[in-house]
Each structure stands twice: as C-alpha cells, then as structure tokens.
Amino acid sequence: MHRAHHAFVATIVGAITVSGLALGAQTPSPATPPPAPELKSVLAGKKFTPPVQGTADIDFVRGATKREGSTLVTKIVVKNTSKGPIPRLTIDETWYDKGNNIIPGGKGVIPGLLQPDEVKTIEIRTAVNPAMQASKLMFSHANGSVNPHPVKSLDAPGTEKEPATKTASTAKKPAKK
C-alpha cells in the first residue's frame, strides 16, 4: 500500500519537473529587460489646491421659501469664503411644528467642488406638511463641517452693478405740451 502511494507521488513530482524544464527551454530569458516607459505627472504645470479638510467658511443668502404645488422650494445662494475648494457642499433643511416637533425636510447639494469665491445657488425641495411652522438649516461638506455666515447679498467676482442713478444724458426728456 505504501509502495503505491510512493509511486504515485514520484510520478507527480517527475511530471512537474519535466514540464518545468520544457517551459524553461521554450522561453528564452533576455539579457537585459527593456527600459520602463517614462512616467509624466498628470498635474505637471497645473495649479492644484487641495479641498478643505475640517471646517469651511461660506457666506449665504437665504431666499424666500415658495410653494410650488405640493412642494416647498427654498433657494439659497452660497459663496465659498475659504482658501480652498469645498467638496460636496450640503444643506439640510429641518422643519418644526408649533410644539417644536421635527418634521422631515429636504436636502440640497452642490456636487463636485465649490471653488474659492465661487457663487452658486442650492435649491431645497420639501413636501408640504400643514403643521410646518419654522425651519432650520444645517450645513456640511464631504470633509467636515461648515461655518455659515448669513449676509444680505452676494456678488459674483468680476460682476459690476448698474449705477443707482442714471446720468443726465440718459434721463428722460420732459414731454412737450
């Protein structure tokens, strides 16, 4: 019994040895391997600012909440005042009834990065509930929290406002009688 077992193992070892020699004979080994291709940086020559980690700062203007059918729509204009881009800025709107009980609200997101000094509008849609009395906004982003600063208005950089008063040349002339 032991002889049959030893004979079987010897046959397997011999087959592996012969096949290994045959494979080695078929593939010649090169003397020197070919040189590796030169790798170039994807960001070579480009300015890259890493996204904000931790707390980000934004200015925001909350627009009026309007009803569209059975949905409440809140539009919020945000401006990144941080030194780096903010990844996936999110605003959660939570509603409350008269007894300060929580009513489910909606969520608005800016996918991707909000670059420094960039201004965008986030729209939050929430199903109408007759018990809704007041809402609260919660700001966050992919890498941490947000320190929001409410302001009265936001201007995109590089945009100029129209003058509040018109010059004399553009004023209307009095009508003739």
Both structure tokens of 19: 């096949």
pLDDT at 161: 46
pLDDT tens-place string over residues 25-68: 555 555 788 888 888 877 777 777 889 999 999 999 999 889 99
- CATH code for position 116: 2.60.40.10
SS3 7: helix
Residue 80 sits in which domain range?
A: 56-150
What distance lies between CA 152 and its chain's CA centroid? Answer: 26
Let me know if residue 100 belongs to a domain. Answer: yes
Average pLDDT of the chain is 81
Residue 95 lies in a domain: yes
Is this model's pTM higher than 0.75 or not? no
pLDDT tens by residue, 88-117:
999 999 999 999 999 989 999 999 999 999
28-45: b (≥16 Cβ within 10 Å) or e: eeeeeeeeeeeeeeeeee
Residue 14 lies in a domain: no
Note the pLDDT tens digit of each residue in 156-171: 554 444 444 545 545 5
* Total number of domains constituting the chain: 1
